Amino acid sequence: MKALLLVDVQNDFCPGGALPAPFGDEVVPVINSLLDSFDLVVASKDWHPPQTVHFEKWPPHCVRDTHGAEFHPGLKAEKIDKIFLKGTDDKDDGYSAFEATNADLTDYLRGKGIKQLFVTGLTTEYCVKESVMEALRQGFETFMIEDAVKGIGVHPDDIPNAISDMQKAGAKMISSYDLLKPN
Ligand code: VGL
Ligand code: ZN
């Protein structure tokens, strides 16, 4: 059984948002095209309190129950089976979807018989990377869909370095084209 994980496809990580990945919105049509190809679709949301130590590193973003924390309006969110909220407390970053506090992502995926996890979303070098790393530690066969992620790129090498760290840890790189082509 295989699951698609949508990491933080939220307004604040898209152009016009508080902490945008340049071209972050470009993941939306790619993700939409993949939604019917999986047994299960799960999504994380960065879901911060108004005041948190996280905002000492970052401009305030994805404050719970605000417009910036909503999914991008183009995302076919009705196809998501379950949403995992993370970064919810005021003392840590909560980058990984596996740090969700409303439900346990590992237990949920194992309970559904998921062995393979395909990761998409925002942002490549923070929440996508940390989610991929934890998925590998939890024993999932983990893929990153290269054309379905976008990074912030604070430093020019951050995104390629993150991809090479994920590969070294055992993540497999794949494109949406590989998943959608017949056979
Ligand atoms: C993220 C920076 C701060 C992410 C979240 O979703 O990658 N990045 N908070
Ligand atoms: Zn955040």
Render pLDDT for 66-125 as a digit per residue (tens, 0 to 9).
999 999 999 999 999 999 999 999 999 999 999 999 999 999 999 999 999 999 999 999
User: At what angle are helices 129-137 and 158-168 packed, to 10 degrees?
Assistant: 10
Check residue 183 and give its pLDDT: 65
Check residue 181 and give its pLDDT: 86
In this prediction the pTM is 0.98
CATH number where 70 lies:
3.40.50.850
Check residue 182 and give its pLDDT: 80
Our count of domains for the chain comes to: 1
pLDDT mean across residues, the chain:
97
Q: Go through 61-93 and write b for each residue having 16 or more CB atoms within 10 A of its CB, e for each that does not.
A: bbbeebebbbbbeebebebbeebbbbbbeeeeb
User: Which of 6, 7, 13 has the most ligand 1 atoms within 8 A of CB, as the residue to mutate?
Assistant: 13
User: Could you say which of 45, 86, 129, 150 is catalytic?
Assistant: 86
Q: Ligand 2 centre from 91 Cα, in Å?
A: 12
Pocket of ligand 1 (CB under 6 A): 8, 13, 19, 46, 58, 122-123, 126-127
Q: Closest ligand 1 atom, CA of 128?
A: 7
pLDDT digits over 7-24, tens only? 999 999 999 999 999 999
Domain that holds residue 87: 2-180
Query: How far is 94 from 101, CA to CA, in rounded Å?
Result: 10
Q: Is 181 a catalytic residue?
A: no
